[in-house]
Structure 1
Amino acid sequence: MSSQTDVQVQRIRAIGLTVTNCNRSVDFYTQALAFELVSDITVEGQDYSDLEGVTKAKIRIITLRLGDELIELMEYLNIQGKPIPSDSQSNDRWFQHLAIVVSDMDRAYAHLRSFSIEPISVAPQTIPPGNQASGGVRAFKFKDPDGHDLELIWFPPDKGKDKWHQNSNRLFLGIDHSAIAISNTEQSLHFYRDLLGMQIDSRSLNWRPTQSRLDNLPEAEVKITALRPVEDGMGIELLDYIVPGKGRSMPSDWKSCDIAHIQIELVVNNLEQLVDKLRHNGVQFVSSRIVQFTNSVSPYRKRCLVKDPDGHAILLIAES
């Protein structure tokens, strides 16, 4: 099946993270990682409950920007969501990280260490030169105050997008991609490439011992497939762990208000047509319908939340 479909994802608008406390998260992202505040709103009502699949949802949503990319911190004010399991590993199917690009890994790492972070990697790691797709890339994984997984990433001159190499006096540059742990590459490609029309950007195999130190997983070996939308921008990486194998699957009772919830917002060119296509293909829907927001300040009036084959949340959005 060709990825050149009429209906497709244009770009990733933002990544939404459910958090325990917006104020604490804003402090962390603005101070430790140099994100800037864009907006701070509180929403409630049947439309948001239908969209997120949470009864009587009242959500404070803070939008932050880093470079060209946005994240949304979502705090459910009237519901106490379940915390992220403290023993989460990179191969658990709920694992998802944001890769934050830095202009100088040593300086960024030193700055980050002045905050009380929980590291995943033992220290910044350099991917060996034998890896064609990512040799020379430096990375460090850690957790935010809620336990969401984050990665600092530095690209050598021959890797990464041009925009990461433009002379900048900023230390933290933007978000390159969100990486998700999956159970089966072909199954995920059917969803992201065949149904959503994203395109494969690169494939690589990352393995021990660098990957083990990066993920804090013994003998780690992971097949990585990088996907980009047609308008480029932020991408999605599929992480298919061969060793130590697949971790735990995402619990079926997790909801949008639970802290492990991360939703990737995908701008699509025809939401009704895409929703029909996804329903025909047995995709799981969180939203009870396409929700149309009439009083929204955002141009993206139509929204619908679905899940990928492993349970990762995908918010499909379109202009009216």
Structure 2
Amino acid sequence: MVSSAGISIQAVQAIGLTVSDASQATDFFTGAFNFTVESDTVLSGDEASYLYGVPDAQVRIVSLKLGQETVRLMQFLGADARPVPADSKSNDLWFQHFAIIVSDMNAAYAQLKRFSFSPISPEPQTLPNNIEAFKFRDTDGHALELLKFPSGLGPDYWQSQETLFLGIDHSAIAISSTERSLALYRDALGLTHQGSFTNIGIKQETMDNLFSAKVIVTSLTPATGRLGVEFLDYLTPPGARPFPIDQKTSDLVHMHFELAVEDIDAAIEVLEESNQVQFVSPKVIDLPNVMPFKRGALWRDPDGHNILLVQN
């Protein structure tokens, strides 16, 4: 459905990320965070090549579930997966992470430490309002976050004590302009702006491993589901680097939002008319039954972040 204001995103259906080895990444996510495997399939031929913009693509896609949320690991078989820049910082515009909600930070951190990872934060941090957070990278360089809400703060479903790892609250992207990103994600895509606030101080610097960090954080949610979108607009420090102009979906820096719509053709028409995005897929691609959605198109926002628009 497309409203008069733009597109109506039904849900952030999944977070996709390119990995160097789907089997190793699956072992990490299932072992460190108790994800479960939903499906393991291969997409190849013209459908894969045109959907992802990679010639002769053969893509192994492993769908993982945690709570109600889904992560899709993508390994481009036989392709040269360029690494994430080793000196990546939290304010570089290719930065994207997703936040895994935990019921006990100490226990979650202890379980994570049984696996290989690279810390961004030196250790879990206690932020204002007693929120606990820890940022780190997996062995492919993808940024991740463990997050614990204190009692009485956040949605009721993140207060559960039944499991250690509860689900994914949001995926956050570093951006260059809050207003420009709101014009796309809120005004064109129809996500609901839940609010914005500014984080500054030693706790933020320590968590991000970024001296003099001052960041405007903006939260948006779709019509359904628990998984939301977050903007990170770093006012300081200066020097945030843009997305590599030659980025490919097969590069390990690639992550994307999988956004579900009811009418993908109408949605693509709105995006084409907006002149705000760059398309990776040349058209809407009809997909075989091995895929978790029937049709899709990949595109990038003005900062270079990837969005896979899908129709189920």
- Normalised TM-score (structure 2): 0.96
Counterpart residue number, 2:207? 214
CA distance in 2, matches of 1:167, 1:138: 16
Are residues 4 and 209 of structure 1, via their aligned partners in 2, closer, same or farther at CA, if it must alter by over 3 Å? Answer: farther
1:6 to 1:278, Cα distance in 2 relative to 1, 3 A: closer
Query: Which of 213, 216, 223 is equivalent to 1:223?
Result: 216
- C-alpha displacement at 1:245, in angstroms? 3.1
Is this contact kept in 1: 2:6–2:189, CA < 8 A? no
Equivalent position amino acid for 1:286 in 2: V
**2:283 aligned to which of 282, 289, 297:** 289
Per-residue CA deviations over 1:110-158 (Å, capped at 9, x if unaligned) read 2212222110001111112xxxxxx221100000110100000000122
2:131 is matched with 137
Q: Any conservation in 1 of the 2:295–2:311 contact (CA below 8 Å)?
A: yes
Letter in 2 for 1:219: S
- Whether the 8 Å contact between 2:242 and 2:303 is mirrored in structure 1 is yes
Q: Which amino acid aligns with 1:156?
A: P
Give the Cα–Cα distance (whole angstroms) in 1 for the partners of residues 239 and 222 of structure 2: 26
Q: After the TM superposition, which residues 17-56 of structure 1 pair with which residues of structure 2 at under 5 Å, given as runs?
A: 17-56=17-56
CA distance in 2, matches of 1:140, 1:233: 21
> Structure 1 residue 298: deviation in Å?
4.5
Supply the RMSD in Å over aligned alpha carbons: 1.3
Q: Residue 18 of structure 1 contacts residue 75 of structure 1 at CA under 8 Å; is this kept in 2? A: yes
For residues 237-276 of structure 1, the aligned pairs below 5 Å read 237-245=230-238, 247-276=240-269
Tell me if structure 2 keeps the 8 A contact 1:7–1:269: no
* 2:194 paired with 1:205: no
- Partners of 1:262 and 1:316 lie apart in 2 by 13
Asked if structure 2 preserves the Cα contact closer than 8 Å seen for 1:18 and 1:258, the reply is yes
Alpha-carbon shift at residue 246 of structure 1 (Å): 5.2
Is the CA contact 2:9–2:223 (under 8 Å) kept in the aligned structure 1? yes
CA contact (8 A) 2:96 2:174 kept: yes
**Could you tell me how far 1:260 is from its partner in structure 2?**
0.5
Asked if structure 1 preserves the Cα contact closer than 8 Å seen for 2:196 and 2:216, the reply is yes
Aligned to 2:14: 14
Amino acid at match of 2:99: A
Corresponding residue number in structure 1 for 2:273: 280
1:280-305, CA deviations, whole angstroms, 9 ceiling, x for partnerless residues? 11121110100112x32446211111
How many percent of aligned residue pairs carry the same amino acid? 45
Change (3 A) 1:147 1:263: same
Paired position in structure 2 for 1:109: 109
The Cα shift of 1:64 comes to: 0.7
CA contact (8 A) 2:6 2:187 kept: no
| 2:137 is equivalent to residue 148 of structure 1 | no
Q: Does residue 173 of the first structure (1) align with residue 166 of the second (2)?
A: yes
TM-score by length of 1: 0.94
CA deviation after TM superposition for structure 1 residue 202, in Å: 2.3
Amino acid at match of 1:261: H
- Cα distance in 1, alignment partners of residues 260 and 239 from structure 2: 30
Shift of 1:60: 0.6
Q: Conserved in 1, the CA contact under 8 Å of 2:6 and 2:270?
A: no
